[in-house]
Amino acid sequence: MNWPLFAVIYIIAGTVTTGIVIIGTLIMGFDEIAHMQIAVAVGAAASIPITMFFAKKIGSITGNEDGHKA
């Protein structure tokens, strides 16, 4: 696993996924702070497999699946 690539993609995917989940909870009328905290946790957890998928795809395309070698 290319961990630097994973970290960069997680920053983007985590923000987008969490934002989508929060907007969904607001649209459904769950606007209390406890609901927002649950939405953030769900968005952060849901973005981990998304990040793994795209990190592996990009790593296989670039040929750098094992990460940065110094």
Domain presence at residue 65: no
Alpha carbons within 13 angstroms on the beta-carbon side of residue 60 total 5
Task: Count how many domains the chain has.
Answer: 1
Q: Is the pLDDT of residue 65 over 90?
A: no
CB distance 46 to 14 below 8 Å: no
Q: What residue type is 68 in one-letter code?
A: H
Mean residue pLDDT across the chain: 92
Rounded mean pLDDT of 36-61?
Answer: 95
pLDDT at 60: 87
Rounded mean pLDDT of 12-23?
Answer: 97
Domain presence at residue 18: yes
pLDDT at 68: 61
Q: Is the pLDDT of residue 19 over 90?
A: yes
Domain presence at residue 66: no
Domain presence at residue 68: no
pLDDT at 63: 78
